[in-house]
Structure 1
C-alpha cells in the first residue's frame, strides 16, 4: 500500500470516529440552547468537567494504540491484543471509581469552575446525570486504541456513528418528549456512551479469542498499561489544566460570554478532531514502523503528514470564518451570544493552520512512546499560557477580555506547543526502536 493510501485509510475513518463525543456534545448544545442561555451556560460548566475526566483518560486510547501497534509491527499480534484487553479493564475500573467520587462533589466542582447561583443548578444536574455513562466512555477509549493499533479504523467509525445517532434520538426524547430539560440531555448521552463501550468491548473480545489471547484481568499487565500511560496522563493533565483555566476565565465574563465561549470552543474541538485524525494515523504508523525497527519510514511519514495537517488546518480555518454567522445562528437564539461567537470564530479560524502542526507532532510523539518528553513540554507550555490567560481578568469584562483570552489560547498556548514539539521532532531522541516488544 502506498504512503498516501495508508495514511488516508487510517485518517479518514478515524476522523469520523473521533466525532462521536463532540457530536454528542454539539447535539446537547443545540438542544439545550433552545432551553435558554442560563441552561446553556450550565451545560458549559458541566460538560467541561466531564470532558476534563475523559480528556485525562485519553492515555487509555493513546497508550494502547502505541503498545498494540508496536507488538503488531514486531509480529506479535496476540500479545498486542492481550495488552489492549487489559487497557479496557483499567478503563472500566477507572470510570466506575471516578463516577462514584464525582457524584457527591458535583456542587463544589461547579462552584470551583465559577458557576454562579443561577448557573450552578443546571451544571450540577448535567454532570450528575452524565456520570453513569463514564465507565462506557473510558472503555471505548481503551477499545479504540486497540482497534487503531491493529490498523482497524473502520470499526470505531461504525460504532461512533451509531452512538451519535442514538444520542441525538434519546436527547430529543428525554428533553422534549419527557420534559426532563438539561437532565435529559445528559441522560441520553450517558445511555449512548454505555451502549458504545459495551459493544466495543465485545468486539475486541471476539478478536482476542480468535488468536487465543487472554481475556481475564491480569494485574501485572494492568499495571504495565498504567505505567506506560502515566507520562501521557501527566501530559494530558497539564493540557486539561490549560483548558480548565480557559473556561474559568471565560466564566468570569458573564453568562452571555460564557455561553458564546462554550459554543465556539465546541466548534474548535470539532475542527481539532478533524486535524487529530491525521495525528491518530501518525500514532499507528509511527508505532508500527518503530516496532519493526524502521526509523527512516517513521521520519518520512512524519514529514508528509506535517504538510497535510497544516494544509487541512488552513482550509478548515477558512471554512470556520466563512460560516461563522450560520454557525452562531444554529446554536443560539440570543443576538448578543451570536455576535460574540462571530468574533471568536474569526480568531479560531485564523490560527487553525498552527493547530494542525501542533496536533500532528503531538500524535507522532505519542506513537513513538515519547510520553516523558511530552509531559515535560506540557509543563513548559502551561507556564507560558497561564499568565497570558489571567491577563483577561484585568481587562474590561465581556467581549474585550474574552477576545484576549482566545488570542492567548490560539496564539500563546498553541504557539508554545508548536515550539516544544517542533524542537523535539527535529532531533532523533524520539526515534526509539528497542521497546518492550
Structure 2
C-alpha cells in the first residue's frame, strides 16, 4: 500500500471486499427468495420489515470496526508492531462485549420497536420471531465484522471472502432443510443465519490464531488498551453514526412503506435485496480508500493519499455505473426470482428505477467520506450525512409524501438526498484538505 502503483492494488483489494458484501447479500437474498417461493409473501414481508432495523443496529459497530481498521492500518504504516498487536486484541474483545450487550438490549425491545414501526398485525408475530432469533447471533456477527477489518488493515480481503462463502453455502443448505424438512418458516431462516455467522467468525478467528504476521492473536494477550480504544471510538463512532443516519432515515421510510400495505412491503424487500449489490460495490471502494489513506497518512505520504482518493473515485464511478445499469436492465426478471405476483414485481421495479438506477451519485459521498476517515477525521462526513441524508429523507416523508401517499413519490427521496449530501461533502473536503496542507510540515 505504501509503494508502487495504486491502480492495480486498489482493485486487487476492493474487488474481493465488494464480492464479500455481494456474497453476503446473495445469501440474504436467498433467504427472502426461499420464503417468497416456499412459504409466501407474508413471510417475505415480515423479514423485509426487519432489514432497516438490522442495518441500523449493525451500522454503529461496523463503523467502530472501521475505526479499528484505521488505527491498525496506521500502526502498520508506522511499522509499530506493538501498536498493531494491542489494537488487534482490543478490537476482538470489544466485538464480543458489544455483541453480548446488543443481544440483551435487542431481545428486550424487539416487539415494542416493530409495533412502533407500524408492522401490520398479521405480520407482527413472524417479524418478532425472526428478529429475536437473529439478535441471538450478534456476538458472532460483530466478531466477524471486526475480524474482517483486521484482515483488511493489511490489505487482505480474500480471507474474509473465503470464510463467508463457506458459511454462506452451509446457510443455504440449512435453510432448505429447516423449511422443507422441518416445516419451519422465518425461524428456520433466522436460525440458519446465526449458525452461518458462527462458522464464519470461528474460521476467521482460527486464521488469526495461525497467522505469522503482526495481526496474530494470542489467547493470553486479550485485554482492552484504553488509549487505543479511545482512538478507535474517535474515528469509528462518527463513522458508525454516519451509517446509522442512512439506516435511521431508512427506518422512517420503512415505516411509510409499511403504511402502504403488504404488497408494497414485499416489493420493497425484494427490490432492496437487488439494489444493495450496487451499494456493496460503492462502499467497497470507499472502505479501501480509508485503509490505503490511513496507511499512507501514517507514513506521512500526503501526495499518495490524494492519489488514493482520485483513483478510488474513478474506479468506483466506473464499476458502480456498470452494476447500477445492469440491475435496472435485468430488474424485472430479478424481481421474479423473489415473487411472481405481478403487482409485487411492478412495485419493486419502481424502487429499482429510483434507487439502483441513480445510486451512482452515492459514490461521491462514500469515497470522500472514506478518504477523510483515513486521515482520522470521520466527524465531518457524519455531520454532513446527518443533515443531508437523514434531514432530507425525514422532511420528505413528513411533508411531500403526506400530501400524496404514493410509493413512487416516496422513492424519489433517495436520489434527492444523495444529490444534496454529495454537493455539501465536496465543499467540506476542499476546505478540509486546504487546512490539512497548511498543517503538514
TM-score (norm 1): 0.92
Equivalent position SS for 2:200? helix
CA gap of 1:316–1:74, structure 2 versus 1, over 3 A, is same
Q: Mapping of 1:187-202 within 5 angstroms?
A: 187-202=191-206
Tell me what 2:392 maps to: 384
Q: C-alpha separation between the residues in 2 aligned to 1:208 and 1:251?
A: 51
The gaps in structure 2 that reach 5 residues or longer are: none
Secondary structure (helix, strand or coil) at the match of 2:155 reads coil
> By how many angstroms is 1:219 displaced?
5.0
Uncovered stretches (5+) of structure 1, i.e. residues with no partner = none
- Aligned counterpart, 1:170: 174
In structure 2, relative to structure 1, the CA distance for the partners of 1:148 and 1:89 (3 Å cut) is same
Rounded Cα–Cα distance in structure 2 between residues aligned with 1:357 and 1:225? 24
Which residue number corresponds to residue 136 of structure 1?
140
> Quick check: 2:84–2:214 contact (8 Å CA) kept in 1?
no
Give the counterpart of 2:127 among 123, 144, 147: 123
Asked if the contact 2:99–2:138 (Cα under 8 Å) also holds between the matched residues in 1, the reply is yes
Residue deviations 1:212-266, cap 9 Å, x none? 8763122524454334422223323322211211211111111101111111122
- 1:20–1:284 distance in 2 versus 1, CA, 3 Å: same
What CA distance in whole angstroms lies between the structure 1 residues aligned with 2:435 and 2:51?
A: 35
d(CA) in 1 for partners of 2:294, 2:249: 28
Report the Cα distance in structure 2 between the residues aligned to 1:36 and 1:145, rounded to whole angstroms. 37
The size of the alignment, in residue pairs, is 431
Q: SS of the residue aligned with 1:414?
A: helix
Could you tell me which residue of structure 2 aligns to residue 245 of structure 1?
Answer: 252
For residue 95 of structure 1, the aligned residue among 85, 92, 99 is: 99
Whether 2:237 is the aligned partner of 1:234: answer: no
Matches within 5 A, 1:312-391: 312-381=319-388, 382-391=390-399
SS in 1 for 2:49: helix
Identify if the C-alpha distance between structure 1 residues 224 and 348 changes in structure 2 by more than 3 Å, giving closer, same or farther: closer
Cross-structure match for 2:185: 181
CA distance in structure 2 between the aligned counterparts of 1:293 and 1:434, rounded to whole angstroms: 12
CA distance in 1, matches of 2:127, 2:184: 14
CA contact (8 A) 1:320 1:349 kept: yes
Of 381, 402, 408, the residue aligned with 1:403 is 408
Relative to structure 1, the CA distance from residue 101 to residue 148 in structure 2 (aligned partners, 3 Å threshold; closer, same or farther) is: same
1:183-210 deviations in Å (ceiling 9; x for gaps) = 1001000110112122222322333786
Distance 2:421 2:112 in 1: 31
Separation in structure 1 between the aligned mates of residue 360 and residue 249 of structure 2, nearest angstrom = 20
3-state SS of the aligned residue for 1:333?
coil
Deviation at 1:372, TM superposition (A): 1.5
CA distance in 1, matches of 2:205, 2:402: 49
Question: In the alignment, which of 207, 218, 222 is matched to residue 216 of structure 1?
Answer: 222
1:293 aligns with 2:307: no
What CA distance in whole angstroms lies between the structure 1 residues aligned with 2:437 and 2:233? 20
Q: Is the 8 A contact 1:42 1:123 kept in 2?
A: yes
Q: How far apart, CA to CA, are the structure 2 residues paired with 1:431 and 1:66? A: 18
SS of alignment partner, residue 150 of structure 1: coil
Q: Is the 8 A contact 2:60 2:237 kept in 1?
A: no
RMSD over aligned Cα, in angstroms?
2.2
Q: TM-score, normalised by structure 2?
A: 0.92
**Cα distance between partner residues in 2 of 1:424 and 1:90:** 32
